[in-house]
Homo-oligomer: A and B are copies of this chain.
Amino acid sequence: MISELAILDLVREDLDRVEQKMRTMGESAYGPLAEAFLRLLGSGGKRLRPALALGTFGFFVDRASEKAVALAAAVETLHNATLVHDDLIDGAPVRRGNITLNAIWNRGATVLAGDYLFARAAGFAAETENIRVVQLFADTLRIICEGELRQLFSTRQWSQPKESYYPRIFAKTASLFASATRSAAILGGASSEQEDALYEYGYHLGMAFQIVDDILDYSGDETVLGKPVGGDLRQGIITLPFFHFLQTSPDPQGIIAMLEREPDGNGDGVGEVVALVRASDAMALTFQEASDFTEQAKADLERLPAGPYQDALRQLADFGITRHL
């Protein structure tokens, strides 16, 4: 399905330049690291974030400048850096079907490999030679880290308010989406109205994407996910489906008591709660919120010039919520 994404076709050539730029990073790294980095970068994922940056740039300039390519590489490298540290924190042995660095290296090397990717991402951002882009980059990194810390400190806080969810997923996902679109708008020479519209598009798109991710964690097929359903809840991370479930449950305290009885998150009780959430109206309520964010993202695009980039970014927004069907 992903290959049907118009945005990927539109920016294909520029995306190849980003890929090449990131691969030189792997090759120039210290010998023993080079192979590991190349595998890490090769495992790749969808490259949605750089495509988003390049697609935004496309509104203003036909072919991506070197600086736009550097920005897209910065965004994707920053994303990869956070994944390396996340995998270490979660102790995840596999991501996207590939063995994580964490599983083959020791703790120290994995911490440093993530730091190295942060450094390279900062270097790519500096290559844009635009101080606003650099400031936005640093700010986004801060928001992401603060969000991760917040998530860590709110683990297994079953009674936290639903309102704590939105800043958390902004930090985790939407901040980087929105920073990618705003930065590309800045480099492309957007007017300040267009820049704001693109920032908001990135924000709304990112929020919808993360909510759908959080839905898939409950509703997905274990063989497709490559991990057990309800992984978030098992780790004590509360996402929107669970908030809705608890709010509509006749016995929220009973549910919390079930979770409290299994502090390691691996028991039958947690599995039972996951099944209850999965079968509840909470799923539809959550999906409705993702859908609302998607509609807002599409409305943001109306403030930008019509044409292939507007169409492709609109389709990307729709893809965000249909990919789980």
Asked if A152 is an interface residue, CB under 8 A from chain B, the answer is yes
Q: How far is the CA of A150 from the CA of B113 in the complex (A)?
A: 11
Q: How many copies does the complex hold?
A: 2
A side interface size, CB within 8 A: 42
Contact A142 B113 (CB under 8 A): no
Contact A89 B115 (CB under 8 A): no
Asked if A109 is an interface residue, CB under 8 A from chain B, the answer is yes
Contact A108 B89 (CB under 8 A): yes
A139, closest chain B residue (CB): B123
Contact B131 A116 (CB under 8 A): no
Return A151 CB to nearest CB of chain B, in Å. 9
Q: How far is the CA of A109 from the CA of B85 in the complex (A)?
A: 11
- State the majority secondary structure of interface residues on A: helix
Q: How far is the CA of A203 from the CA of B320 in the complex (A)?
A: 50
- Chain A 55-83, CB-CB to B under 8 Å as 1, else 0, gives 00000000000000000000000000000
Asked if A47 is an interface residue, CB under 8 A from chain B, the answer is no
Asked if A41 is an interface residue, CB under 8 A from chain B, the answer is no
Asked if A272 is an interface residue, CB under 8 A from chain B, the answer is no
Known: A112-B148, A131-B134. 4 other contacts (CB 8 A): A30-B150, A30-B153, A108-B152, A123-B135
